[in-house]
Amino acid sequence: YGQPAIAVPVAGLRARATVTAAPAGSGIVLVARDLGTTWQIKSANQQIGKSEALPFIVGHTLHYLQVPGTPDLHIELTSDLPVASGLGSSAAVAVALIRALAGHFGQSLEPAAVSALAFEAERLQHGTPSGIDNTVVAYEQPVWFVRGQDMETFAVRRPLHLLIGDTGLASSTRDVVGEVRAVWQGEPARYEALFATIGQVSQRARRAIEQGDLPTLGRLLSENHGRLQELGVSCDELDRLVAAATSAGALGAKLSGAGRGGNMIALVQPEIAAAVAAALQAAGARRVVDTEVGTPLILAKVPEPSQG
């Protein structure tokens, strides 16, 4: 809706892919242990037009790498990130798989190429993704995103100590985005004003991050959550965790991703992280991840992914 968004990499959670040679004639066996799913791929080329994201990534990446035919491979995927949780799990798995395939064939891909390949899988998964998840994972840097403009990575002046609280509820980005679009079409003036307010909060949050103003950033996180509540994309479980975090002393907190479940994030001072984590668990968090964002970064322009 023309407004900016910010995403940051989560260092405490990882997706992993391993690629090993398989016996001749076995084709490609792709195992996603966390999903309990195995694919037998007899022809890599036939996967390019398929609707399942992970086999598609295999075929699409092998084609990009100019690997002839269908190599005999055994691929295993594991991930610390819960599925449909607002943490970019699908993008993280896609990037891990792309890099593992490239590495197996002795190739090293630039972040832009990895991001572009992962974006194609995101389109299958989510319909009309922003491209922000695959970008932040591929570049491993905070990203500033406005649809229709090149993305930017940007600098963190002071480390951001974050707690991530998992509601345990799966959330479909495709469904939530569709519902928001429907209410916007029904009352465009009301929701355009709300989107504009959310965009202003994002702009102020970027300035706070670049200036190292953590108290202001915390207040803006909480303000953003309030606006997202107005938008109708929160839920009782998320609201309960956000309230628990702020009551326990967090500088601010908000839902992450599309909402309606998944995860929330809280900005905390390191000395009270344990107390806030305990409050989140007491409020029903299935899991709490403690992570930090804060490596000084070089500003860079990131080409917007093609929607064609």
Residues 163 and 58 in one domain: no
Residue-wise pLDDT tens digits, 268-305? 999 999 999 999 999 999 999 898 886 443 333 444 55
Does any domain span residue 81?
yes
Q: Mean of the pLDDT values across residues 120-139?
A: 79
Say yes or no to pLDDT of 232 above 60. Answer: yes
Q: Which residue has the higher pLDDT, 84 or 209?
A: 209
Q: What is the pTM of this model?
A: 0.75
Of 139, 170, 192, which closes a domain?
139
Q: Are residue 134 and residue 158 in the same domain, yes or no?
A: no
The pLDDT of residue 296 is 40
Q: Are residues 165 and 208 in the same domain?
A: yes
Best-predicted range by mean pLDDT among 5-9, 53-57, 265-269?
265-269
Instruction: Tell me what pLDDT residue 241 has.
Output: 98
Catalytic status, residue 133: yes
Average pLDDT score over residue span 14-40: 91
Residue 158 and residue 289 in one domain? yes
Q: Is the pLDDT of residue 251 over 90?
A: yes
- Which of the residue ranges 134-143, 146-155, 290-299 would you say has the lowest mean pLDDT? 290-299
Within this chain, do residues 104 and 28 fall inside the same structural domain, yes or no?
A: yes
Confidence of residue 48 (pLDDT cuts 50, 70, 90): low
Contact 12, 290 (CB under 8 A): yes
Is 206 part of any domain? yes
Q: Which of 34, 72, 133, 239 is catalytic?
A: 133
* Higher pLDDT pick, 303 / 25: 25
One domain for residues 106 and 196: no
Contact (CB, 8 A) for 136 and 129 = no
Q: At which of 114, 139, 164 does a domain end?
A: 139
Q: Are residues 222 and 273 in the same domain?
A: yes
Task: Please report, rounded to a whole number, the percentage of residues in the chain having pLDDT higher than 90.
Answer: 56
CATH number for 58:
3.30.230.10
CA dist 194 and 172 (Å) reads 22
Predicted local distance difference test score (pLDDT) of residue 164: 93
Helix or strand or coil: residue 31?
strand
Q: Are residues 135 and 25 part of one domain?
A: yes
Mean pLDDT throughout 138-143? 86
CATH no. for residue 163? Answer: 3.30.70.890
Do residues 27 and 102 share a domain? yes
Q: Report the range of poorest mean pLDDT among 23-37, 99-113, 287-301.
A: 287-301
Instruction: Tell me what pLDDT residue 154 has.
Output: 84
Confirm whether 299 is domain-assigned. no
d(CA 55, CA 139): 23
Alpha-carbon distance of 207 to 214, in angstroms, equals 11
| Domain final residue pick, 139, 172, 187 | 139
Structure tokens at 170: 């799966």
Question: What is the percent of the chain with per-residue pLDDT over 70, rounded to a whole number?
Answer: 89
In the predicted structure, residue 128 carries a pLDDT above the cut 80: no
CA distances to 231, 232, 255 from 183, rounded to whole Å, are 9, 10, 20
Q: What is the pLDDT of residue 127?
A: 66
172 lies in the same domain as 207 = yes
Q: Is residue 4 part of a domain?
A: no
What pLDDT score was predicted for residue 302?
A: 45
Residue 124 is predicted with a pLDDT of 76
Give me the pLDDT at residue 141, please.
82
Residues 71 and 181 in one domain: no
Domain that holds residue 84: 15-139
Angle 279-253-95 from CA coordinates, rounded to 5°: 105
Decide if 9 is inside a domain. no
Reduced to 3 states (helix: H, G, I; strand: E, B; else coil), residue 128 is coil
Whether 148 maps to a domain, the answer reads no
Find which of 59-63, 144-148, 172-176, 240-244 is predicted with most confidence, using mean pLDDT: 240-244
Number of domains in the chain: 2
**Mean pLDDT, all residues of the chain:** 87
What is the token pair recorded at 58?
A: 């295999």
Decide if 298 is inside a domain: no
pLDDT, residue 116, reads: 92
Q: Are residues 52 and 131 in the same domain?
A: yes
Residue 5 within a domain: no
